[in-house]
Structure 1
Amino acid sequence: MKAVILAGGYGKRLRPLTDEKPKPLVEIGGKPILEWQILLLKRYKISSVYILAGYKKEVLLDWVSKNQERLEVKLAILSETEPLGTGGAIKRLEDFIKEPFYVLNGDIITNLDLDKLKISEDSDDLASIALVPLKSPYGIIRMKDGGKIIEFVEKPIIKDYWINAGIYYMKPQIFEFLPVKGDVEKTTFPLLAEKGILSGKTYDSVYWRSIDTLKDYEEAGQEVSEVFKNL
């Protein structure tokens, strides 16, 4: 089975860490984000990975050439000369992928179960999205009647609301719905949802972290050493 890692973004909010390298090569807990993702894919017997590169693509290519043998995964880099968006980047693989495949945003570290994302062959759904509970960016205060504060809760999980985890399972028929240029989240997914052929798989007890800011970088560095201590 094949997987695709979207690694073309500029990572502006992670500067200066991304001044000389693309976001997927920023190290968290001693490993680049990209390596954490490859290790996850290997656990699910995925042996062929397409890395869709843009910003600092030559640095990605150098890293792959030096680490592919060690990681024992077939890695191929497909670069773009202009930003195509997530949908346009995936669409370029139409001639290379003829079976269901996974897609991961290149800034995600997680241990969620990829098998749970799979769609049965007899389902009309063309894609499924991993969903994780919304985590409040702020601490909250609990109160009782009369305005008395009874508890401070630091950044609680809000389980009634689900967010896109940036990990997808797609059938090859999805290529018909992908834009030549544009983001899959803004074009393809709303269309599939309207047609009733998009599903979501919820994960309420997994580690998931999107590395978007320097604060994410600092917090994830402390977390992964414990969550992934056996890797």
Structure 2
Amino acid sequence: MKAIILAGGRGKRLRPITDYVPKPLVPLKNTPIIEWQIKYLKKFGVDEIIICTGYKTEMIENYLAMKKNMGVKIKFSKEKSPLGTGGAIKQAARKIKDRSFFVLNGDTITNIDLRKMIKSDNSIAAIELRTKFGIMETKENKVTKFREKKEISDLWMNAGVYHLLKTTIKDLPDKGDIEKTVFPDYARKGNLNTVKFKNVKWYSVDSFKDMEECSLEVDKIIK
């Protein structure tokens, strides 16, 4: 299988770190996000990864050039100007000849089982929505219990992991986000599937708090 990692963003919420290094090289437990992601994809049999880059591309290329024992073939798809997720996938997927491929957001750390996704064409991995805040359980006007970041049953969120058919390329915008263009269109037509995952580990590393929390578990998530 082949995979695309969307790693072209500037990571503005992680400034000032991302003023000096691109977000894919932000470290989690002394290892960059991009390296954790490559290990994750390799675990599920991905043998070729195309990394979509834009901001500080050379730094990412130089780092991975030094890591010669990653065990996968790595290519780059460079954006001269921001293309959005849809445009980035379209440009990168032209290098793929397989029937289908995976897509992974560049800030996602997870243990979602990709083997379950390969069975479902044009699918989005879904996880149960999690609150960002602690939850109070109440009975009448009394607080009975506190829970931290509870998962809310039967409300599903996009986990940033996709399995797409090669044929979707023709529908992708040259510039724009897949989440705002192709996915809503496919959903209306009944052409978009989901694979639901419960009790999985999942982080979107988008803040310093995310970095701190993910760093505590990342080596358990991606073994």
Q: Is the 8 A contact 1:49 1:76 kept in 2?
A: yes
1:6: which partner in 2?
Answer: 6
- Deviation (angstroms), 1:44: 1.4
Equivalences for residues 75-94 of structure 1 within 5 A: 75-94=74-93
Look up the equivalent residue of 2:74 and give its one-letter code.
Answer: L
Counterpart CA distance in 2 for 1:90 and 1:225 is 28
Look up the equivalent residue of 1:53 and give its one-letter code.
Answer: T
Q: Is the 8 A contact 2:110 2:221 kept in 1?
A: no
Indicate the RMSD between aligned Cα atoms, in angstroms: 1.3
Counterpart CA distance in 1 for 2:37 and 2:156 is 22
Q: SS at 1:60's partner residue?
A: helix
1:115: which partner in 2?
Answer: 115
> TM-score by structure 1 length?
0.92
1:142: which partner in 2?
Answer: 137
Look up the equivalent residue of 2:136 and give its one-letter code.
Answer: I
Look up the equivalent residue of 2:83 and give its one-letter code.
Answer: L
- Deviation (angstroms), 1:93: 2.9
Q: Is the 8 A contact 2:4 2:92 kept in 1?
A: no
> TM-score by structure 2 length?
0.95
Percent identical pairs in the alignment equals 47
1:96: which partner in 2?
Answer: 95
Q: Is the 8 A contact 2:129 2:151 kept in 1?
A: yes
1:40: which partner in 2?
Answer: 40
Q: Is the 8 A contact 1:119 1:128 kept in 2?
A: no
Equivalent of residue 196 in structure 1, options 190, 200, 206: 190
* Deviant stretches of 4+, over 6 Å: none
CA change 1:226–1:50 in 2 (3 A) is: closer
Counterpart CA distance in 2 for 1:89 and 1:227 is 27
Q: Is the 8 A contact 2:117 2:123 kept in 1?
A: yes
Counterpart CA distance in 2 for 1:213 and 1:87 is 24
Counterpart CA distance in 2 for 1:218 and 1:17 is 14
Q: Deviations over 1:68-116 (max 9, x none)?
A: x211111011111100101001111343212210000000111110011
Counterpart CA distance in 1 for 2:182 and 2:119 is 17
Q: Is the 8 A contact 1:3 1:103 kept in 2?
A: yes
- Deviation (angstroms), 1:33: 1.0
Moved more, 92-101 or 166-175: 92-101
Q: SS at 1:98's partner residue?
A: coil
The alignment status of 1:18 with 2:22, answered yes or no, reads no
Q: Is the 8 A contact 1:13 1:212 kept in 2?
A: yes
- Which residues of structure 1 form unaligned runs of 5+? none
- Deviation (angstroms), 1:140: 1.2
Look up the equivalent residue of 2:63 and give its one-letter code.
Answer: W
Look up the equivalent residue of 1:175 and give its one-letter code.
Answer: I
Counterpart CA distance in 1 for 2:47 and 2:156 is 30
